[in-house]
Homo-oligomer: A and B are copies of this chain.
Amino acid sequence: MTASSSPALDVALAYHQAWTSHDLEKAMSYVADEIVCEAPAGRLVGAAAYREFMGPFVQILTSSKLIAAFGDQETALVMYDTETLPVKSAPGAECVTVKDGKITHSVFVFDRAPFDAARRDAR
């Protein structure tokens, strides 16, 4: 893990700690109502849409490992690996913008291909 203290990083890591501990409610407490998230499948607008995106992922998460985390006053960048029920190694990266202690914008990068493949295999 690599971390340099910053207000945005503190929020990003608290959010990260919450969802990787399967505490979706606590994770959402760091997400602004008006969040805009650029996710692989398209733009998500608002906390409800974000919750619908994260909820199922948190349910299939079995373990996670922080790879690196950095931030400054308003921006944090976090990369991690996750192990999920369908996909053994599913690394992700998030660049979050934090205002007043909440994540208002996020760019979310992960590879959907192995999840798509697992869904096809399950049919």
Give residues in A with beta carbon < 8 Å to B: 2, 4, 38, 40, 67-72, 75, 77, 79, 81, 91-93, 95, 107, 109-113, 116
Contacts and interface: CB of A to CB of B under 8 A. Distances in A.
Chain A interface main SS type: strand
Copies in the complex: 2
A105 B78 CA distance: 17
Contacts of A68: 75, 77, 95
Given A91-B38, A107-B67, A107-B91, A75 B112 contact: no
A75 B109 contact: no
B91 A79 contact: no
Contacts of A92: 109
Contacts of A69: 77
A70 B111 CA distance: 22
A90 to B, nearest CB: 9
A119 B53 CA distance: 26
Contact of A70 (B38, B77, B109, B113): B77
A91 B92 CA distance: 12
B77 A111 contact: no
Contacts of A71: 70
